[in-house]
Structure formats: structure tokens, C-alpha cells
Amino acid sequence: MSDMNTWTIADARDKLRAKEVTAVELSESCLAAIEGANALGAFVHKTPELALAQAKEADARLAAGDAPDMCGIPLGIKDLFCTKGVASQAASRILEGFKPEYESTVSQNLRDSGAIMLGKLNMDEFAMGSSNETSVYGNAVNPWKVDDRQLTPGGSSGGSASAVAADLCLAATGTDTGGSIRQPAAFTGIVGIKPTYGRCSRWGVVAFASSLDQAGPMTKSVRDAAIMLETMCSYDAKDSTSVDIPVPNFEAALTGDIRGKKIGIPKEYRMDGMPSEIQKLWDQGTAMLRDAGAEIVDITLPHTKYALPAYYVIAPAEASSNLARYDGVRFGRRAALAAGDGITEMYEKTRAEGFGPEVQRRIMIGTYVLSAGFYDAYYNRARRVRALIKKDFDDVFAAGIDAILTPATPSAAFGLGEMTDADPVQMYLNDVFTVTVNLAGLPGISVPAGLDGSGLPLGLQLIGRPFEEGDLLNTAYALEQACGFVEKPNKWW
């Protein structure tokens, strides 16, 4: 049973409850896989002793019949989540040596359910990136490979995507500010869901853009996403944006019956220069949902073309504000000072040494758009565009649309290094299909749907009504069943 690390959450849950395997054995299988996969760069802080201690506690709960769905399930945790007593750096030099004295609400919810933390996962620095190449640890690598090209696993949750796709863990946490769960999920052939803004607490998650950030699961199947998301969600008084509504049984919603559901196909997502493979996959997904009994409706989201520029004003502005707290005074890295240096020099040197080039770029953009004379011209205008984008979605859902189908990404995974030296705008364009969901605060899910001509995975995105993750997951489940995607990367690491 050395392949236990390849199981889904649902399979492992059933086998644990049936006493066919122990949580310790399951964790040992994952830990062995992690040790053999250093070339992927997915795990950056391994916690084997903690994992085995938690596994023993899980086995005791299972023996006593106290076994929530996630009890005994080994997970990877994105380095953006604060984990008590375990390094939490957000993949940045400026948080070197930081070990929180507290646990994020989401990871605490998972711990309380009996889930096991195998370690912390690689990511783009402060979640700013689409390729996992801005990490202080070095980039994570996509387990899918073409010839000798090493490919990006996507970003910012690249380590999470790589670890799940390579079966190093049964699932992982991710965060999504502009597509950072859905894009890497599409690049690696796994499932990733960003829930409605406010559904998962942001407390204890290192902030990038506070009005956009949202945690979610990255899993091997839609069913696993439903199981894990239910545990991650909760109302949290410590997060002023947390919404106090009941968390339903998402797994129970997975009937696969979508007869009569109205699926919107937005014309604005048919962009000039879209690769024919992406268009073909989208058309195939549309046909699959129609064959499953859904009604396909052409819709318009007229302000979509303004989403990317609005996002790249709002997100850097919020990042500039959030990252002002990293000054070398209270925690994290402090630069060495020369004789005569004062507090201003300490701030300047610490931030120059501690932040990487992409983070510095976004801080400067954000500071610029918030500065006197430019606030109205950029930031307030972007906020007004955001309101119009949200209204587009509100109008479509008010007209009876249940979910919207789009591509997840404009291409399959690209090679590491292929975009980092180019115009940064080319990298930002990877978020073209995903940022609208964050700007509108909606739930969105990426489902693996096929392979491109090179044999790399491609994903389709479904966008749902706010706080209707159950319906969205059920539609995704129907799409997953129709696509029948079962391909896995050939092990080379």
C-alpha cells in the first residue's frame, strides 16, 4: 500500500474509518513521497515530527469514533498561512525567522478536524506572481513536463498545485487574490476553488490585497474540494469581512444533476488571439453541460475588458498599504546598519533587502496610485470600474443564470524563465479570465478538462452566485464527470 499518497480525501476518509489503514501509515507514505521530490521545490518547510504526532492523535480520534471528514488527512499548507511555531515567511526574505505564536483560523479549523500538516508550501513572494518565480526559496516546478523544459506550476499557489498534482499530499490550502488558486490548478490538472469573499476567514493569512484575498482548497477531485472547503469555512469575529451564514454540507450537494440549470457563456471572454485549443476546450465543455441537461445561454459582461487594468490598480494599492508594516522594527528581517544610520536608513535598507523586485514594483505602483493628485485619476476610477463589473454579474444572475462557464487560463503552463525577463504585463495577462471573479467577490472553480497538443493539462472555470458554493460544486462535479480527466504527470523527479 505504498501508493497511499495517491488517494483522494474521500477514499482515504473511508479507508481510515474502515480501519483499513492508519493516519500514521498514510502520513508516512506522503512524507516518503515528499523526501523523494525535492526537485519539485514544492515543500519549503517540512514538519515530519509534527505530522506524525498529529497522525497519532487522529488515530486515537478514529478509534474513539470521533472522526470528522478531514480527520487523519495529510495536507500541505501554503506558506501564506500563519502556523503556530512553524516558519511562516510568505516566501519573502523580510519575514526570515518569523514563527508565529498563533494559528490562522483556516488552518486551525483543519487542525481541529484532525487534519495533519506535512509542512509549508512554496509560493510567489507575498502571493504576488503567476509563476512561482518570485519566491525567496526559488521556484516550484510543475510535475508535468514536456521534453526537457521545466514548466511553471502557476502562481501564486504554485507549491500547493505542484504538491497535489505530484501526490505529495492528499490536498493543500491555497489563496486566491486574482486567480492564484484557479490558474495553478489549471496548469497542473487538479481542482481549485476560490469561495465567495467572506466565506473563509482571512485572519492569520498574510495580507496581499485585503478586499480580494480569499483562501480555498486545492484537491484531486471536486468531491475532495467540497469535503475540505466545508471544514475551512467558518464565521470568524476576528475578521471584519467574515460573513455570518451557515456552512452547508457541500458534499451532499454533489448529485451531478444539473438539468434545467442555466449556464452563461460570456461573449467578452472570446478574446482576440485566443489559442484554438482553448476555444475548442471551451466549446467542448459547453456541449458537455448541454448534454447533461443544462440550458446554454449567451450572456454579456460588458465591463470585462476593464477588469485587468482595474485589478492592477486596486491590488497594488492595497498591497502598498498592507506591506507598510514590514519595517524591521517588530519582527522579521532587519538590515545591518552602518555607523550613524538612523530609523529612516533602517527602514530603507530593510525594505530594499527584504522585498524582491516584483513586490517592490507593486508597492511602488500602489503608492503612486494612492498619492495626492493621482488618487482620483487611478484608484477611485478603478473602484468605480470594479462596481460596474460586479453589477454586470449581478444583472446576469438576476436574469436567471445559475453559473458561468469560461476558460481558466489563456494557455497551458509555460516554461520557467520564459516570461520573467519580458514585459511584466505579459505575465499579468495570465490572470485575464480570473480577476473578474475576485473583483466581484464571487466563487469560482477550475476543473481539469483536457490536454493540449503537447500533453499538458487545460482547465475550465465555472463562476457561481455568491455564497452558492454547493450549486457551483455540483455543476463542477457534472463537468468533471463528463470530461473524465484521469491523466497524471509521468514521474521524473
Alpha helices of 252-306 — where are they, by DSSP H? 276-291
Name the active-site residue from 29, 107, 156, 157.
156
Name the active-site residue from 15, 78, 120, 220.
78
pLDDT of residue 1 exceeding 60, the answer is: no
3-class secondary structure for 156-220? CCHHHHHHHHCCCCCEEEEEECCCCCHHHHHHHCCEEEECCCCCCCCCCECCCCCCCCEEEEEEC
Cell of 383: 473602484
Q: Convert the pLDDT of each residue in 437-487 to its tens digit.
A: 999 999 999 999 999 999 999 999 999 999 999 999 999 999 999 999 999
276 is a catalytic site residue: no
Q: Convert the pLDDT of each residue in 285-298 to its tens digit.
A: 999 999 999 999 99
Phi, psi for residue 255 in degrees, rounded to 5: -90, -25
Residue for grid cell 447533461: 292
Q: Convert the pLDDT of each residue in 351-381 to its tens digit.
A: 999 999 999 999 999 999 999 889 999 999 9
Q: Convert the pLDDT of each residue in 432-444 to its tens digit.
A: 999 999 999 999 9
> How many residues in total does the chain contain?
493
Mean pLDDT score across all residues of the chain: 96
Cell of 194: 476560490
Q: Convert the pLDDT of each residue in 261-310 to its tens digit.
A: 999 999 999 988 889 999 999 999 999 999 999 999 999 999 999 999 99
180 is a catalytic site residue: yes
With beta carbons less than 8 A apart as the criterion, state whether 420 and 170 touch.
no
Separation CA 55–CA 404 (nearest Å):
40
With b for 16 or more beta-carbon neighbours within 10 A and e for fewer, the 420-446 pattern comes to beeebeebbbbbbbbbbbbbbbbbbbb
Q: At 100, is the pLDDT very low, low, confident or very high (cuts 50, 70, 90)?
A: very high
Burial of 247 per CB tally in 10 Å (0-12, 13-18, 19+): middle
Q: Convert the pLDDT of each residue in 51-73 to its tens digit.
A: 999 999 999 999 999 899 999 99
pLDDT of residue 423 exceeding 90, the answer is: no
78 is a catalytic site residue: yes
The CA angle 225-230-232, to the nearest 5 degrees, is: 90
Sort strands 295-299 and 444-451 into parallel, antiparallel or unpaired: unpaired
pTM of the entire predicted model? 0.97
Q: What is the DSSP string of 354-410?
A: HS-HHHHHHHHHHHHHTSTTTIIIIIIHHHHHHHHHHHHHHHHHHTT--EEEEES-S
**What's at 186, amino acid-wise?**
A
Tell me the C-alpha to C-alpha distance, in Å, between residue 457 and each of 5, 178, 229, 474: 21, 20, 23, 22
- Count of helices and strands (H, E) across the chain: 15, 11
Q: Which parts of 246-323 are beta strand (E)? A: 262-266, 295-299
Q: What is the pLDDT of residue 421?
A: 62
Say what percent of the chain tops pLDDT 90.
91
Mean pLDDT computed over 68-86: 98
| 464 strand-pairing partners | 403
The region that residue 243 occupies, defined by phi over 0 for left and psi between -120 and 50 for alpha, beta otherwise, is beta
Q: What is the pLDDT of residue 419?
A: 81
Cell of 217: 482548497
With b for 16 or more beta-carbon neighbours within 10 A and e for fewer, the 63-91 pattern comes to eeeebbbbbbbbbbbbbbbbbeebbbbbb
Q: Convert the pLDDT of each residue in 218-243 to its tens digit.
A: 999 999 999 999 999 999 999 999 99
